C-alpha cells in the first residue's frame, strides 16, 4: 500500500526481455535504499513492483505480461525517468491518499496551461473510469497523489504546484504524453457496497436487524 507521496525520482538503467515479460533495473541517487529488502514493494510510476534484487543505489524487479498489458512498461526505454515510493509504514504520516499500485488505465495529457507558478494539466478521462473521478476527489497519476480540480465531459484537470513539479516527473509532461492513472480505491469499494446483491435481496436496516445485533 502507498500514499502517492513521491520519495524520489529514478531512471530505468536496464531492461531485460524474457519472452512475454521482462525485468527492469531502476537506479536512483535520491531514494534511501538502506531499509529495502528482497520482496519489498516499490511503486514505480504508480505500478507496484516487487524487489527481486538490490544493489547500492538500484533495485531490480520483474514486470509481468499482465502489468505490461495495462501499463506503459512495454514502451519504456533505458533512461526513462520514473517516480518512486516505497510501501508505506504504519508509523509514517499519511500525506496523500490510499494507493494500491494497481494501474486502472493509461491516458494522455490533452492540455497544459501555466497559471502563475502552477500548471493546469488536463488529462483525457477514460469512459469506464469516469464515475470514479470526482471534483475535489483524489487520483493517482504516474504514482503521484493529486486532487481533481475540474471535471468536464471526457477530461479532468489537475493543478500542479511548483514543489510537485520539482520533486516528480510532472515537469516533463507534454501534450500527448501518456501516463498511468489509478482511481481512488475507496470510490470502488463504495460502489460495490451500494450495489444490491444478486444472490440476496437487500434488507436494509430494520428494527428487527438492530435487535438481533444487540443495538436495541
Q: Which tens digits make up the pLDDT trace of 190-201? A: 887 777 554 455
Q: Domain segments of the chain: what residues?
A: 8-86, 105-193
**Mean per-residue pLDDT over the chain, rounded:** 92
| pLDDT at residue 196 in the model | 54
| Nine cell digits for residue 117 | 507558478
| pLDDT at residue 209 in the model | 66
CA 132 to each of CA 2, 157, 178: distance values in angstroms, whole numbers, following the listed order = 19, 14, 20
For 162-165, the CB contacts below 8 A with 24+ separation are 162/117, 162/118, 165/119
CA distance 99 to 47: 10
Q: How far apart are the first and last CA of the chain?
A: 38
Quickly count: other Cβ atoms within 10 Å of residue 179's Cβ: 23
CA distance 96 to 109: 22
CA 105 to each of CA 63, 145, 196: distance values in angstroms, whole numbers, following the listed order = 16, 15, 27
Q: Is the CATH number of domain 8-86 3.40.50.410? A: no
Q: Is the CATH number of domain 105-193 2.40.30.20? A: yes
Question: pLDDT tier at 14 (50, 70, 90 boundaries)?
Answer: very high
pTM, whole model, 2 decimals?
0.87
| pLDDT at residue 202 in the model | 53
Please give the helix or strand (H or E) that residue 198 lies within, else none.
none
Q: Which tens digits make up the pLDDT trace of 89-102? A: 877 778 889 999 99
Q: Which tens digits make up the pLDDT trace of 128-179? A: 999 999 999 999 999 999 999 999 989 999 999 999 999 999 999 999 999 9
Amino acid at each position: 500500500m502507498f500514499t502517492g507521496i513521491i520519495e524520489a525520482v529514478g531512471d530505468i538503467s536496464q531492461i531485460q526481455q524474457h519472452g512475454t515479460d521482462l525485468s527492469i533495473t531502476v537506479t536512483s541517487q535520491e531514494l534511501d535504499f538502506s531499509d529495502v529488502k528482497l520482496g519489498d514493494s516499490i511503486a514505480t510510476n504508480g505500478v507496484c513492483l516487487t524487489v527481486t534484487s538490490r544493489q547500492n543505489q538500484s533495485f531490480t524487479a520483474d514486470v509481468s505480461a499482465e502489468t505490461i498489458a495495462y501499463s506503459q512498461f512495454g514502451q519504456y526505454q533505458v533512461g526513462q525517468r520514473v517516480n518512486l515510493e516505497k510501501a508505506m509504514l504504519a508509523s509514517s504520516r499519511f500525506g496523500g491518499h490510499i494507493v494500491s499500485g494497481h494501474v486502472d488505465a493509461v491516458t494522455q495529457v490533452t492540455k497544459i496551461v501555466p497559471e502563475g507558478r502552477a500548471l493546469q494539466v488536463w488529462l483525457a478521462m477514460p469512459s469506464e473510469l469516469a464515475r470514479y473521478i470526482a471534483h475535489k476527489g483524489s487520483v493517482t497519476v504516474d504514482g503521484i497523489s493529486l486532487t481533481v480540480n475540474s471535471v468536464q465531459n471526457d477530461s479532468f484537470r489537475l493543478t500542479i504546484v511548483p514543489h510537485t513539479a520539482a520533486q516528480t516527473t510532472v515537469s516533463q509532461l507534454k501534450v500527448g504524453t501518456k501516463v498511468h492513472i489509478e482511481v481512488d480505491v475507496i470510490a470502488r469499494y463504495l460502489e460495490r457496497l451500494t450495489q444490491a446483491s444478486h444472490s440476496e435481496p437487500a434488507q436494509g436496516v430494520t428494527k428487527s436487524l438492530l435487535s438481533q445485533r444487540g443495538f436495541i
